[in-house]
Amino acid sequence: MAPRKRARNDSNAPELSRPLEIKATMEADSFREELVSMWREGRLCDVTIVVEGRSFPAHRLVLSAESPLYMKPMLSTSFAESKEQTITLKEVSSSLFEAALTFMYTRRCTLASELELQPLLQTACMLQVPALQAAAEQAMVDKLIPATCAAAIDLASHLPLAHLMASAQKLALAAFVDVSGSDTFHLLPLARLETLLAHDELCAKEEQVFDGLLRWLGKQPAPPSAEEEAQLLQHVRFPLMKGHDYVRESVEKSPLVARHALILAQAFRESRFKEDTPRTRRRRAGLLPYASLEEGLLVCVDTDREFVEGECERAVEGATDPCVWDDDGEMAKCVGTRGKISELDASLQGAKIEFDAVDDEWWFPFTVLSRAVEAGGAPS
């Protein structure tokens, strides 16, 4: 069967010192506007919250409504503070409480700098103000970069921040090399690092995965136990490493591997006898399911020629026919390059790709295609 082709027609870090506004969407409300006016003017305030010696007049009704699980019980009749006109709060700074109180009334507050965002989110969680917690959490998600990713995962591991956890983990999978090279990578909890290392969507070469693991282990204040080391090392897919010199110099001579030589032996036994195990399976980072492919989409062909050729020669999952590999060398030029989908074929579960650097269009199965990135850095 002839190859299917057709000739063409012819993780920088942000500036953290700028003021940062946290706000939530809120429709115009005359009642709330009057309430804010009363609060700013000190009218009908029936309680004063004291933090670090500063006094903050407020309305019990507002505090109870905005903080139903923290302030409301404190202000209810079953607590001694309920009869007090002045309540002192500890474990929170006055500036952060002021920001939180302002948000409770106005649904917005301004921080002196982005550095105060995480402390504000922690304050919102402590005071249990759902609206502020959601707004601050979303602000952290919007500001996520590889350099802050590990710290965000660490924070979300200790607080009920599912949205931040999911977003930070997604970024860590997509930008593992940058995340593992950041100054905060060592903050990643062991369980979360194991989740990343075991994930099929981790976007990194196995050499980079191993290097990241070594970097994390080397910066732990207390050395992990042998069991914890093995728990992490077992997820490195040694058989997929391509560099012979790297395996010989960095893997075989590693003290970590020497302590767990059985793991390395098991990994290469699985590869030698073609066992289908997590360690022998290629990661699917960036892989697009066939249903996600569409004409005009910018995609990139996998960089491993041997893998691409093998996938083209077989009928991939869901296909009735293979795309077929061209042995004349022209198709090989497409490996590792990007192009635009011009046509789809469900029987092949593949796409015909138009390349800038190659004169012909070629069919490739979805299993070797990933979403490419535009020059400006945004996905196509």
Summarised one tens digit per residue, pLDDT across range 69-98 is 999 998 886 666 666 789 999 999 999 999
CA atoms within 13 A on the CB side of 252: 9
Q: What is the pLDDT of residues 147-189, one digit of tens each?
A: 999 999 999 999 999 999 999 999 999 899 999 999 999 999 9
Could you give the CA distance from residue 113 to residue 15 in angstroms, rounded to a whole number? 9
Residue 380 in this model has a pLDDT that exceeds 60: no
Beta strands, E only, the chain:
5-7, 20-23, 47-51, 54-58, 86-89, 108-111, 298-301, 338-345, 350-355, 360-365, 369-371
pLDDT band at 10 (very low <50, low <70, confident <90, very high): very low
What residues pair up with 21 in beta bridges, in sequence order? Answer: 110
The whole-number average pLDDT for the span 323-339 is 90
pLDDT band at 370 (very low <50, low <70, confident <90, very high): confident
The whole-number average pLDDT for the span 221-236 is 97
| String of DSSP letters for 126-146 | HHT-HHHHHHHHHHHHHT--H
Burial string for 25-35 (b: 16+ CB within 10 Å, else e) reads eeeeeeeeeeb
pLDDT band at 282 (very low <50, low <70, confident <90, very high): confident
pLDDT band at 286 (very low <50, low <70, confident <90, very high): low
Question: In which element (H, E) is residue 328 found?
Answer: none
Residue 81 has a pLDDT of 61
CATH homologous superfamily for the domain 290-371: SH3 Domains (2.30.30.40)
Could you give the CA distance from residue 233 to residue 255 in angstroms, rounded to a whole number? 12
What residues pair up with 6 in beta bridges, in sequence order? Answer: 361
Q: What is the CATH number of domain 24-142?
A: 3.30.710.10
Could you give the CA distance from residue 345 to residue 108 in angstroms, rounded to a whole number? 51
The whole-number average pLDDT for the span 241-264 is 95
Correct CATH for 150-272 of 3.40.50.850, 3.40.50.150, 1.25.40.420, 3.30.479.10:
1.25.40.420
| Start and end residues for every CATH 1.25.40.420 domain found in the chain | 150-272
Could you give the CA distance from residue 102 to residue 109 in angstroms, rounded to a whole number? 6
Share of the chain above pLDDT 70, in %: 90
| Start and end residues for every CATH 2.30.30.40 domain found in the chain | 290-371
